[in-house]
Structure 1
């Protein structure tokens, strides 16, 4: 069986171009970019998606005619995928950061564990919120929405076009500021509730100075923190859905 060299390179190019964008997405996308997912699994998944996307992608760029302009196209494909995944990563970090603030206020900052995904030591409250975030993301078919946005990106921003500019990068940086604002909103109910508890302790100290407020204050604050976290879980679930929607809107906005 004789193979035409030009045909082989052309077919190879048809797969490599979508693979670049998909690889960039998988480098930063939550869950799939975790170290818990073996590199071989990610590679097989990325190549499978690239093969499936290749027939629907029309591009005249062939590595048979590789030149310096192709370097810019390669960087652009990787950058677009990285930005799409990074936006979702920011959404997930909202609740990790909010959980850290709540843990510190409730006296749960000492209860930490090593996050197997990031290899960092994070409070258990952050782990709880991160698990809720991951399950909500999957239950709302967020992974399918991301794949749909990825396929749409090949129509909105075809291979061989430079569509990601400073404005898109600026939008992602602005979204980083949004992450801190949302983290404060996530932790605000717990902060205000625990502030009231601390004010009550202050009043008790003034009324009955003989009370050892330090010995009884810590367990009460700890217990109140756990109760407040439990009560606020339904509200956190609604914030998770809203944050995911805003993240997907930004991803779609990057493609225009």
Structure 2
């Protein structure tokens, strides 16, 4: 096996592992052939920018490099997945307050049970991801990862558990901040229903409460939609920042 062929294989493996994990490039309904074709296209485009291996690797060392490339690609893709998950978690928090969490159904495109606002938030984030050309920046950072972590290197670095726990804390903080306006509306609706039940005991609050919260959340959602899109537009670019920080720590 020549040096050039080994280089192409290692580049292809890292990019494929990234695409399989990252939600922005891989939807469960997308055929595997399309994923492989996308990976190969990015590989051929990135080949000229990737340093070629100095010498041909032995079989055992090449197998070790393959495992390393899979792990690096999955790690980078997982970081991008976390930020889409932050937006989805925000939607799930809203669903829990409004009462839609009871109507969660299985979504084959995401492979999990999602409720209504969770799905709306997720697909809004996907639209923002492509409309702002953020996918181009992510692909550029993926290609730059070969500069930070050469394909011939086996040093994984020291990002460690501490870095992942810090990143997970940031994800939950972003999710709560994104869901806060709708959660406040739902809580205010609960307070209003409590006042109504005290003022007019004859009204059945249990029957009135559910449709009232749904209508209120829907109206506020439409009013706050531009602000929501703007907030998502500020959150998603952070994935590139943390991708680069992770790669520089390797």
User: What TM-score do the two structures reach when normalised by structure 2?
Assistant: 0.90
Q: What is the aligned counterpart of 1:155 among 147, 152, 164? A: 147
Number of residue pairs aligned between Structure 1 and Structure 2: 247
Per the TM alignment, residue 117 of structure 1 is displaced from its structure 2 partner at its CA by: 1.6
Match of residue 230 from structure 2: 238
Shift in Å, 1:47: 2.0
Secondary structure of the 1:166 match is: coil
The answer for the alignment partner of 1:19 in structure 2 is 12
Q: After the TM superposition, which segments of 4 or more aligned residues of structure 1 sit over 6 Å from their partners?
A: none
Aligned twin of 2:219: 227
Alpha-carbon offset, residue 22 of structure 1? 0.7
Residues 65-214 of structure 1: pairs in structure 2 closer than 5 A: 65-67=58-60, 69-167=61-159, 170-214=162-206
Contact 1:13 1:61 in 2 (8 A): no
Secondary structure, counterpart of 1:121 in structure 2:
strand
Structure 2 distance, partners of 1:213, 1:173, is 42
Match of 1:4 in 2: none
Cα distance in 1 between the residues matched to 2:18 and 2:55? 21
Q: Indicate the structure (1 or 2) with the bigger Cα radius of gyration.
A: 1
Mind listing any 5+ residue stretches in structure 2 that lack a counterpart? Answer: none
CA distance in 1 between counterparts of 2:214 and 2:48 reads 58
Distance 1:61 1:37 in 2: 37
The counterpart of 1:38, out of the listed 27, 31, 43, is 31
Q: Supply the distance in 2 between the matched residues of 1:119 and 1:157 (Cα, whole angstroms).
A: 31
**Is this contact kept in 2: 1:22–1:81, CA < 8 A?**
yes
TM-score (norm 1): 0.88
CA RMSD, Structure 1 to Structure 2 (Å): 2.0
- Mean CA deviation greater in 180-189 or 133-142: 180-189
